[in-house]
Structure 1
Amino acid sequence: MDATIYHNPKCSTSRKALEKLRDAGIEPTVVKYLDQPYTREQLTTLINDAGVTVHDAVRKRESLYKELDIASLPEDQVLTQMVQHPILVERPFVVTDKGTRLARPVDTLDEIL
């Protein structure tokens, strides 16, 4: 099975998701999205394919979330901020042949493995 994980190695949930994939016998393509930021189209596709909203996919615990007053912005502007500041993207997104999930909690990966 082909798989891609949009990974932040500093994030424990992202590390657990990568481990879960490997435990399932899958060696995924690892995209370190802080080094290779999302394009707007790519992030939009991931969000839509995962069945979440832009507001679901924004990381509310980041200091930038408050600094930029993300909660008050419409989705289009939130998406713009997420593309400009990829640290604002909740993680990890995982894509397999069976679908896309925002793997929070990690057990949501079971749906696409």
Structure 2
Amino acid sequence: MSVTIYHNPACGTSRNTLALIRNAGIEPVVIEYLRDPPERATLAELIAKAGLTVREAIRQKDTPYLELGLDDPGVTDGQLLEAMLAHPILINRPFVAAPEGVRLCRPSELVLDILPAPQRGAFTKEDGEQVIDEQGRRIDHG
């Protein structure tokens, strides 16, 4: 029942995702990818298993995305991966790998689709939004 989160402790979405994993009674492998970025093959595999393109997995906000010219449609997936490894802040977060699959957990509740265990109780995100009720069921806000 191994779950791995590529985590940025400064990111609220990443903190909420980690807390949801722990709310299921799972202590994941936590990789702080800014300090310990994944290997190129691992990053490419995470992106592919999440069903994303490399361009969809790159973070633009508060990164050197524009300064590096990565918005140019001629930049290849290989070049984007190299930029993400050279500047890990460009890796969108948090990626979570679990037995049921890989997700880029934006919003954090996407992690619920791949966790191998149910939520154990109520959960409220840092912004005050309750996403899990007292019985461990997902609250539908739609």
The corresponding residue for 2:60 is 60
The corresponding residue for 2:23 is 23
Q: Distance between the aligned counterparts of 1:53 and 1:63, measured in 2?
A: 19
Q: Distance between the aligned counterparts of 1:95 and 1:38, measured in 2?
A: 13
| Structure 1 unaligned spans of 5+ | none
Higher-RCO chain (CA-CA 8 Å, sequence separation at least 6): 1
Q: Distance between the aligned counterparts of 1:34 and 1:17, measured in 2?
A: 17
- Higher share of residues assigned helix: 1
The corresponding residue for 2:35 is 35
Letter in 1 for 2:3: A
| 1:62 Cα offset (Å) | 2.6
The corresponding residue for 1:107 is 109
Name which of structure 1's ranges 66-75 and 3-12 shifts more when overlaid on structure 2: 66-75
| 1:64 Cα offset (Å) | 0.2
1:6-45 per-residue CA deviation (whole Å, 9 max, x = no partner) reads: 0010011100000010011111010011111121111001
Q: Distance between the aligned counterparts of 2:88 and 2:63, measured in 1?
A: 13
Q: Secondary structure, in 3 states, of the residue corresponding to 2:30?
A: strand
Letter in 2 for 1:103: C
| 1:74 Cα offset (Å) | 2.1
Structure 1 residue runs of 4+, over 3 Å off? none
Q: Give aligned pairs, total.
A: 113
Q: Secondary structure, in 3 states, of the residue corresponding to 1:81?
A: helix
Q: Distance between the aligned counterparts of 1:63 and 1:89, measured in 2?
A: 10
Q: How large is the Cα RMSD of the aligned pairs?
A: 0.9
| Structure 2 unaligned spans of 5+ | 116-142
Larger Rg over CA atoms = 2
Name which of structure 1's ranges 51-60 and 71-80 shifts more when overlaid on structure 2: 71-80
TM-score by length of 2: 0.76
Q: Distance between the aligned counterparts of 2:50 and 2:107, measured in 1?
A: 13
The answer (yes or no) to whether the contact 2:63–2:90 under 8 Å persists in 1 is no
Letter in 2 for 1:52: L
